[in-house]
């Protein structure tokens, strides 16, 4: 039994992972259980607040612990750094495009007129956007991808910033006006990756799902999440990180900024991808030595 959130995107992502599991275990029958999460019910909680951590996965984890499901599929960026006791992340399928995109009525970021209204649910994206275009207006935005895109189509907003992977998986590539440069819009840790969570003691299920694990993706997100752990933060704090693996070599970039965006700290570390966790820890030390603690403390102040 596989658990999924009920949104169209979540169900598509779950079916993608199920297809991979069927490929390696064609004799296994998979049934998808749709589960409504707190984050789906309450769209008023700001996603950059501490109380937002885990709001898209809590009910799925409860179903795992109660053995109502055996596998939960998540967008990895929604999974807090601290995994619930008794559960574990067992695999990640191959990561899709990890960056952010701009959806407008045909204009690029540089072409948008001053005062244009841009929607996002992310303080990280807001900070990065205003560092590029201080003359734009940022508007809070929640809802599923179709709802957000509709606000641009209907003229309620002049543009929105979303994860590229979500639009691609929904087949909405034609809505993308611009792929935002990674150097200016470093993504959230885990963005673009799908995570498979199981009960920690379920060896049979682990043997199945481990066969679909994409090692370079696993190493990249391991480094990103190790960075969060070593910085002492979770996905409710607007930290950006992206790991990339080429020929067994991992490059990890991390970013934290002040709430007003006037101070931005970005650093990079490299190392053997087999030691991904250590690369993340080393980058955290570099960032802390450069003043990350003060920036993080400022971000947490309401």
Q: Is-contact 98 187, C-beta < 8 A?
A: yes
Quick check: 199 and 64 in contact, CB under 8 A? Answer: yes
Tokens of 128: 């990065």
Rounded-to-integer distance, Cα 277 and Cα 228, Å: 11
Rounded Cα distance between 69 and 200, Å, is 13
Q: Residue 211's closest CA among 12, 3, 1, 28?
A: 28
Provide the annotated active-site residues.
78
Angstrom distances, CA of residue 248 to CA of 166, 194, 244, 275, 300: 27, 21, 10, 10, 36
**Phi and psi torsions of 169, nearest 5°:** -65, -30
Task: Tell me how far apart the alpha carbons of residues 7 and 18 are, in angstroms, rounded to a whole number.
Answer: 16
């Amino acid at each position: 039994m596989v658990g999924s959130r009920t949104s169209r995107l979540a169900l598509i992502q779950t079916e993608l992972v199920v297809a991979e599991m069927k490929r390696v275990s064609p004799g296994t029958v998979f049934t998808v259980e749709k589960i409504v999460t707190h984050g789906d019910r309450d769209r008023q909680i700001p996603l950059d607040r501490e109380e937002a951590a885990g709001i898209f996965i809590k009910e799925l984890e409860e179903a795992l612990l109660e053995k109502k499901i055996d596998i939960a599929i998540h967008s990895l960026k929604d999974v807090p750094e601290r995994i619930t006791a008794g559960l574990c992340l067992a695999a990640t399928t191959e990561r899709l495009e990890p960056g952010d995109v701009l959806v407008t009525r045909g204009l690029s970021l540089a072409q948008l007129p001053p005062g244009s209204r841009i929607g996002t649910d992310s303080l990280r994206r807001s900070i990065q956007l205003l560092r590029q275009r201080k003359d734009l207006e940022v508007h809070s935005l929640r809802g599923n991808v179709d709802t957000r895109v509709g606000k641009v189509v209907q003229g309620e907003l002049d543009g929105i910033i979303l994860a590229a992977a979500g639009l691609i998986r929904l087949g909405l590539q034609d809505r993308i006006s611009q792929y935002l440069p990674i150097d200016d819009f470093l993504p959230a840790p885990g963005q673009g990756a799908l995570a498979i969570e199981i009960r920690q003691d379920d060896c049979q299920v682990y043997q199945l799902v481990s066969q679909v694990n994409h090692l370079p993706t696993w190493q990249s997100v391991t480094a990103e999440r190790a960075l969060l752990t070593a910085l002492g933060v979770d996905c409710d704090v607007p930290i950006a990180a992206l790991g990339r693996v080429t020929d067994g070599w991992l490059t990890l970039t991390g970013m934290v900024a002040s709430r007003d965006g006037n101070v931005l700290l970005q650093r990079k570390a490299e190392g053997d991808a087999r030691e991904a966790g250590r690369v993340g820890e080393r980058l955290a030390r570099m960032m802390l030595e450069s003043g990350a603690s003060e920036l993080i403390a400022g971000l947490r102040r309401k």
